[in-house]
Amino acid sequence: MRLLAHRGMPGPASVDGPVENTLPALRACLAAGADGAEVDVRLSSDGVLVVSHDPTLLRITGSPMTVADSRWEVLRDSCAYRGVALARAEELLVALDGRRAVLEVKRPPQGRVAETAQVLVATLAALRRTGVALDVTVSSFARDAVEAVRDAAPAALGLRTALLGDVGDPPAALVRAALDSGFDEVHPQVGELLRDPATVATAHAVGVAVVPWTVNRGRALRRLAALGTDAVITDVPAGARLALHRVPAGT
């Protein structure tokens, strides 16, 4: 079972730790034992895939700038935090060097769903042409955004697609939706999956991979591993790896 670092982080956010969704955080999470990373992407006003969880940069950098309404050069030059600049998606993919990447596409602005998909696919294709190794899944809570990526991506690119589920979304329903849309994976919320663990086998029987989020507790990690879960998204990759190799007391 692969361990994917949530927002590319090696551990919980702290004032002296790396900043989420940045290159230093990504390098730290890989050093901590992550097999790859989940990061968030948004389209800038001039069509650059910027790695950012929030629609604005207020929480991370203190700037109220909105990613969708700002040019990449302005975002890059104006919004460094603790000396660390924002990253483009391709920079993180190069740094991952073929390790698993989950690119969560945040809800595209009105009228930019197709553009976001086209930019994402073009970005990956350009990296592939230069010899960069890629192992990428594109996910989103926005089903139409994933469908647009599915439609834009040539089979030769080897891109996987995934539907994200939130709290209250039954995993079995996610699997049915993924089948209807031709997606490769489902990413259910961990609590929902643990309430319906049979979904893992059901999904695998129809060729759908299961990657829950966000899984931090040792008992949940071990249970999901025993179920044959393909990967988990976690805030604590080092702790998760230790938990998976620890024998629970009383066994």
Per-residue pLDDT, 251: 39
User: The domain spanning residue 21 has which CATH number?
Assistant: 3.20.20.190
Q: Closest by alpha carbon to 48, among 78, 68, 24?
A: 68
Whether 75 is covered by a domain: the verdict is: no
Per-residue pLDDT, 176: 98
Band (pLDDT 50/70/90 cuts) for residue 105 is: very high
Whether 24 is covered by a domain: the verdict is: yes
* pLDDT, average across residues 6-12: 93
This prediction's pTM: 0.95
Per-residue pLDDT, 43: 98
Q: Are 105 and 116 in contact (CB under 8 A)?
A: yes
Whether 46 is covered by a domain: the verdict is: no
Per-residue pLDDT, 60: 85
Q: What is the CB-side half-sphere exposure of residue 83 using CA atoms within 13 A?
A: 4
Whether 221 is covered by a domain: the verdict is: yes
Whether 58 is covered by a domain: the verdict is: no
Instruction: Name the domain count of the chain.
Output: 1
Asked if the model's pLDDT at residue 24 lies above 90, the reply is yes
Provide φ and ψ at 80, rounded to 5°: -70, 150
* pLDDT, average across residues 24-37: 95
Asked if the model's pLDDT at residue 248 lies above 50, the reply is no
Whether 63 is covered by a domain: the verdict is: no
Per-residue pLDDT, 246: 59
Range of the domain at 117: 2-41+98-244
Mind listing the pLDDT tens digit for each residue in 138-187?
A: 999 999 999 999 999 999 999 999 999 999 999 999 999 999 999 999 99
Whether 65 is covered by a domain: the verdict is: no
Whether 51 is covered by a domain: the verdict is: no
Per-residue pLDDT, 12: 85
Per-residue pLDDT, 6: 98
Per-residue pLDDT, 250: 40
Asked if the model's pLDDT at residue 13 lies above 90, the reply is no
Mind listing the pLDDT tens digit for each residue in 71-100?
A: 999 998 877 667 788 999 999 999 999 999
Helices (H), the chain: 23-31, 58-61, 72-78, 89-96, 113-129, 143-152, 171-181, 190-195, 198-205, 218-227, 237-244
